[in-house]
Structure 1
Amino acid sequence: MSSTATASPFRFFDLVVAGVERLSPTMVRVAFGGPGLASMESAGRDQRIKLFFPQPGQDAPVMPDDDGGNWYPAWQALDPAVRGIMRTYTTRSLTRDPDRLVVDFAVHGEAGPGSRWALGAAAGDRLSVLAPVVAENVAYDFRPPAGTDWMLVTADETALPAVAGIFAALPAGVPVRAWIEVADAADRLEPPTAADADVTWLVRGTDPPVPDAVRAAALPGGTPYAWVAGESATVKAVRRHLVRERGFDRRAVTFTGYWRRGTTEDQLLAAAESA
């Protein structure tokens, strides 16, 4: 009996920083080049990728040899004090001539490895990324069902790059109601879109939190689709309100906790591995 191996829709790429731009008090944009980027793909929208950062004292992250479907156990098997530090980000854009991957980093001081790295990033710095090599892949979530009349979007600054990708992909004229919470008024980075988008910006600590703002809003009629992302407890509160109080079909609510207050991604990974 013979078997045919199925090529993985994702693979590792080595990245080199080509440029850094401070967009706002809490957003840093980094453009990457690197060998082989011509074969990288993106579905746009909220396309997820895995970035791997070097440990302190390293010039580049230590990566597993496996570049296919078994990369995760291969990465787990490496010494945690040596292996590349993995974090999940969103592809902000992928462009050609030259090949460039752009990632926007929501920075929050020295609180995490991604934020620390982005605040000190300079041309020539090296990272690795696990990214798709086919445009249609499982690592994006924004998938409105057929028959959707309008969209509801909620997010915070960590999900703002995904919102920008989603807004860029929306058809002209589609109605969108969005609530985006940011740390500073200067973080209000309007995402370009052809959609009929009504965006409410909320400054944390000054304006009502996202769940309260959505609860107080008058929403359009018709069949909605909701994409809800950001801090885990906030995401759950918004989803609960939409499904229980607004009557949204739970299958038409996509919700993703990008982070959890008081918990690091390393702790979340450890909890998942021990479950």
Structure 2
Amino acid sequence: MNLLTVTSVRPLTPRMTRMTFTGPGLGEIGTWPDQQLKLLFPKPGGTAHVSDAPDVGTWYQAYLAMPDDERPWMRSFTVRSLAAGVLTVDFVLHGDDGPASAWAASARVGDVLGRFGPSPDYARPLGAADLLVFAGDETALPAIASLLELISAEQRRLVFVEVADPAEKQDVPGVRWVHRSAGEDLVSVVTAASIGPSTWVWLGGEASAVRALRRHFVGLGVSKKDIEFAGYWRRSLTQDDAPTSDDLAEAQERIAALSE
């Protein structure tokens, strides 16, 4: 693993903040669609450092061996951009005491986090269907925005992003913003859209919504291999909680999709 140092903090909306980081190894990492990494947030009085071991198995064993009160919180994030050794990550401010949100709400230049990834082993290509569909909530917006930057202007696409209210809209062209403040929800809006089977789909966000949308597109006749999906978070649960039966089923579906 490596350490990251905050080099800038900039609010994007009332509930999202963008930060840039520098750190060892960033200049050697390439770029690909939907880059994901683990960020490690130090507990009070603790450190973000775990181990210098480059091997993920050795590193993770060292992480698990740390005393609970010293082991940093680990959360998954999507890279907004990575260029010239500068990493950009957008943080959703939930307004609660979750470790990532709480850290981001008070982060300052010079603060330090731990990093593991992103790894090219998890790189997945964009689809080549007649229509590309992207759907997710605010936690998926950084990934969606970075994916859209890779698409040619001629490529047909539909983009749906659920956010709290109109103040959370960002300058991302072509998005159908779904506002919870207006009583809308992502699943209802996406399933009401007219979409045929010749489609490649990318889904991200709250796990149960992602599962519902994946079932919807499979029901429309979209091939499972043409649906990329990830449950970024679980309602009433964190990444520290044990996986549910639905989480395990989703993991099996993702493995099966990769092998098709």
TM class, shorter-chain normalised? Answer: 0.7 to 0.9
Residue 255 of structure 1 aligns with which residue? Answer: 229
Q: 1:111 aligns with which of 53, 74, 97?
A: 97
- SS of equivalent to 2:30: coil
Amino acid at match of 1:170: I
Q: C-alpha distance in 2, partners of 1:207/1:178? A: 19
Q: 1:62 aligns with which of 49, 54, 63?
A: 49
33-42 or 160-169, which moves further after superposition?
Answer: 33-42
Q: 1:226 aligns with which of 201, 222, 239?
A: 201
Per the TM alignment, residue 255 of structure 1 is displaced from its structure 2 partner at its CA by 1.3
Per the TM alignment, residue 101 of structure 1 is displaced from its structure 2 partner at its CA by 0.8
- SS of equivalent to 1:169: coil
Amino acid at match of 1:17: V
Q: C-alpha distance in 2, partners of 1:258/1:158? A: 7
Amino acid at match of 1:69: V
Q: 1:47 aligns with which of 11, 35, 38?
A: 35
**Bigger-Rg structure (1/2):** 1
Unaligned runs of 5+ residues in structure 2 are: 249-260
Map of 1:1-275 to 2, 5 A cutoff?
12-43=1-32, 45-58=33-46, 60-70=47-57, 71-96=59-84, 99-132=85-118, 137-141=120-124, 143-144=126-127, 146=128, 148-191=129-172, 198-219=174-195, 221=196, 223-244=198-219, 246-268=220-242
CA-to-aligned-CA distance 1:190-211 (integer Å, 9 cap, x gap): 325xxxxx42101114142111
CA-to-aligned-CA distance 1:200-234 (integer Å, 9 cap, x gap): 10111414211111222122x57210011110111
Q: C-alpha distance in 1, partners of 2:206/2:225? A: 21
Q: C-alpha distance in 1, partners of 2:30/2:63? A: 22
- SS of equivalent to 1:264: coil
Residue 252 of structure 2 aligns with which residue? Answer: none
Q: Which has the higher helix share?
A: 2
Is the alpha carbon distance of 1:175 and 1:20 closer, same or farther for their aligned partners in structure 2, counting shifts above 3 Å?
same
C-alpha contact (below 8 Å) 1:55/1:85 kept by paired residues: yes
- SS of equivalent to 1:28: strand
Q: C-alpha distance in 2, partners of 1:222/1:247? A: 5
Q: C-alpha distance in 2, partners of 1:152/1:216? A: 13
- SS of equivalent to 1:119: helix
Unaligned runs of 5+ residues in structure 1 are: 1-11, 193-197
C-alpha contact (below 8 Å) 1:41/1:131 kept by paired residues: no
Fraction of identical pairs, as percent: 37
- SS of equivalent to 1:57: coil
Q: C-alpha distance in 1, partners of 2:175/2:146? A: 15
TM-score (norm 2): 0.87
- SS of equivalent to 1:256: strand
C-alpha contact (below 8 Å) 1:142/1:227 kept by paired residues: no
C-alpha contact (below 8 Å) 2:165/2:181 kept by paired residues: no
Q: C-alpha distance in 2, partners of 1:206/1:64? A: 47
CA-to-aligned-CA distance 1:109-148 (integer Å, 9 cap, x gap): 2331110111000011011111247xxx13344542x5x1
Is the alpha carbon distance of 1:141 and 1:76 closer, same or farther for their aligned partners in structure 2, counting shifts above 3 Å?
farther
Is the alpha carbon distance of 1:268 and 1:104 closer, same or farther for their aligned partners in structure 2, counting shifts above 3 Å?
farther
* Corresponding residue pairs, total: 246
- SS of equivalent to 1:265: coil
C-alpha contact (below 8 Å) 1:62/1:83 kept by paired residues: no
Q: C-alpha distance in 1, partners of 2:152/2:11? A: 29
Per the TM alignment, residue 270 of structure 1 is displaced from its structure 2 partner at its CA by 9.8
TM-score (norm 1): 0.82
Amino acid at match of 2:29: M
Instruction: Please give the root-mean-square deviation of Cα atoms over the aligned residues, in Å.
Output: 2.2
